[in-house]
Structure 1
Amino acid sequence: MEVIVESGAHAIAVRVADAVCELLRRKPDAVLGLATGGSPLPSYDELAERCAAGLVSFARARGFTLDEYVGLPPGHPESYRAVIDREFVSRVDFGPGAVAAPDGSAPDIPAACRAYDDAISAAGGVDLQILGIGADGHIAFNEPGSSLSSRTRIKSLTRQTRVDNSRFFGGDVDAVPAHCLTQGLGTISEARHIILVATGANKAEAVRQLVEGPISARWPATVLQLHQHVTVLVDEAAATGLELLDYYRETLRLKPDWQGI
Structure 2
Amino acid sequence: MEVVILPGGRQIASVAADAIQALLKRKADAVLGLATGSSPLPIYDELVQRYEQGLLDFSRVQGFLLDEYVGLEPGHPESYREVIRRDFTGRVNFAPENVHGPDGSASDIPAACRAYEDAIRDGGGVDLQLLGLGTDGHIGFNEPGSSLASRTRIKTLIEQTRRDNARFFHGLADVPHHVLTQGLGTILESRHAILVATGAQKAQAVHDLVEGPLAAVCPASVLQLHPHASILIDEAAASSLKLADYYRHSYDHKPAWQEL
Q: Do Structure 1 and Structure 2 share a fold, with TM-score over 0.5?
A: yes
**Amino acid in structure 2 at the alignment position of 1:27:** K
How far is the alpha carbon of 1:253 from its aligned partner?
1.2
Q: Which runs of 5+ in 2 are unaligned?
A: none
How far is the alpha carbon of 1:58 from its aligned partner?
0.6
Matches within 5 A, 1:156-195: 156-170=156-170, 172-195=171-194
**Amino acid in structure 2 at the alignment position of 1:258:** W
Alignment correspondent of 2:138 = 138
Matches of 2:216 and 2:167, distance apart in 1? 27
Alignment correspondent of 1:79 = 79
Secondary structure class of the residue paired with 1:196: strand
Alignment correspondent of 1:51 = 51
For residues 156-209 of structure 1, what are the alpha-carbon distances to aligned partners after superposition, in whole Å with 9 as ceiling and x for unaligned? 011111122222124x22221110000000001100000000011111111000
Matches within 5 A, 1:113-128: 113-128=113-128
How far is the alpha carbon of 1:130 from its aligned partner?
0.3
Deviates more, 1:135-144 or 1:72-81: 72-81
Secondary structure class of the residue paired with 1:257: coil
Matches of 1:199 and 1:184, distance apart in 2? 23
Secondary structure class of the residue paired with 2:163: helix
Alignment correspondent of 2:67 = 67
Alignment correspondent of 1:252 = 251
Matches of 1:173 and 1:240, distance apart in 2? 33
How far is the alpha carbon of 1:72 from its aligned partner?
1.4
Alignment correspondent of 1:36 = 36
Matches of 2:253 and 2:48, distance apart in 1? 31
Alignment correspondent of 2:18 = 18
Identity of aligned residues (%): 65
Matches of 1:93 and 1:137, distance apart in 2? 33
Matches of 1:252 and 1:31, distance apart in 2? 26
Alignment correspondent of 1:237 = 236
Segments of 4+ in structure 1 off by > 4 A? none
Mapped pair 1:205 → 2:173: no
**Amino acid in structure 2 at the alignment position of 1:224:** L
Secondary structure class of the residue paired with 1:112: helix
Secondary structure class of the residue paired with 2:96: coil
**Amino acid in structure 1 at the alignment position of 2:192:** H
Matches of 2:113 and 2:46, distance apart in 1? 31
Q: Which runs of 5+ in 1 are unaligned?
A: none
Count of matched residue pairs? 260
User: TM-score w.r.t. structure 2 length?
Assistant: 0.98
Matches of 1:247 and 1:13, distance apart in 2? 22
Matches of 1:58 and 1:225, distance apart in 2? 30
